[in-house]
Structure 1
Amino acid sequence: MANLTRWSPFKTLSRLEQSPFEDFFNGLHLRPRWSELETPDMRIDVTENDRSYAVKAEIPGVNKDDIDVSIEGNQVSISAEVKRETKKKEDDRDICTERYYGQVYRSFSLPNEVDNTKASAHYENGVLTLDLPKKGNGHGRKLTVS
């Protein structure tokens, strides 16, 4: 059985494997820094039973007030503002500093519509858990994360 790996076009390019996209930057004497293009991923698990959907999304290092969850029919959207930085002492010298500020976003459709009046969201230890009961029809609503 073969192992599955996640492919990213920006992570697999190297000096030996040049693509037409990379050739464009060579003509301008600029070389893109692929590590700067990498953003944090939001990994999700979606499970279903007869009555509802359960969604678990890994969003580590995010304040629960910076998470937005919206539901319209069978469309679920999760977005969060990520702020990652390191602090140093006054007498320390920077050798390497990596920070990320930005937005992560994930949107997906479910097979059935969600009863957004009974939906709930909970964030703990970097994991957002959504309980989304099934329904025939409804209106859009934003959830508050507890």
Structure 2
Amino acid sequence: MRDLLSTKSTYSMTSREFFDVLWEKVYLNEDFKILENEKNFKTHVLETSKEFIVYADIPGVDKQDLTITYENNFLVIAIKRAETNAKSDTTLFNERYYGETRRMFYVPDIKIETIRYTLEKGELALSLQKNLKKSD
């Protein structure tokens, strides 16, 4: 890995060299892995007149490794992925994330008792019914 403060000035680098250094320093540096947002799973949140629907892509997660909570108008989806490789295996390349992560969504005024979910083929689907108050 090259050092940005090497003897060659960034002004005398070709654009290819500059972006190679930038790639190495930001993307490949372990200190900056948070920029990749690799732990967070992808979601899609919809709102209809009667409910909120949340879809989350969580491949490889079983129901027992999934926690769904709702408190103070926040929906929290937490997952835990366990590493599956045997200790004797040698990893050559790994882009998978193992461990715990969560996503939090502000979802106001829902009927907690109506929260329903399904987990099929790595997709979580949550239905959150709105608490529809009738006006006088």
TM-score (norm 2): 0.64
CA distance in 1, matches of 2:91, 2:109: 51
2:98 matches 1:101: yes
Instruction: State the partner residue of 1:57.
Output: 56
Moved over 4 A (4+): 34-38
Instruction: State the partner residue of 2:123.
Output: 127
2:112 to 110, 116, 121: 116
CA distance in 2, matches of 1:117, 1:17: 50
Match for 1:126: what amino acid?
A: G
Ranges in structure 1 where 5+ consecutive residues have no aligned partner = 1-13, 23-30, 138-146
What CA RMSD, in Å, does the superposition of the two structures yield over aligned residues? 3.1
CA distance in 2, matches of 1:109, 1:102: 24
Paired residues in the alignment total 109
2:47 matches 1:48: yes
Match for 1:16: what amino acid?
A: V
Instruction: State the partner residue of 2:71.
Output: 72
CA distance in 2, matches of 1:95, 1:116: 43
Query: Does the aligned pair in 1 maintain the 2:40–2:103 contact within 8 Å?
Result: no
Shift of 1:97: 5.1
2:30 to 33, 38, 41: 33
Structure holding more helix per residue:
2
Query: Does the aligned pair in 1 maintain the 2:74–2:106 contact within 8 Å?
Result: yes
Q: Highest Rg: 1 or 2?
A: 2
Give percent identity, aligned residues only. 25
CA distance in 1, matches of 2:61, 2:112: 24
Ranges in structure 2 where 5+ consecutive residues have no aligned partner = 1-18
Shift of 1:121: 1.4
TM-score (norm 1): 0.60
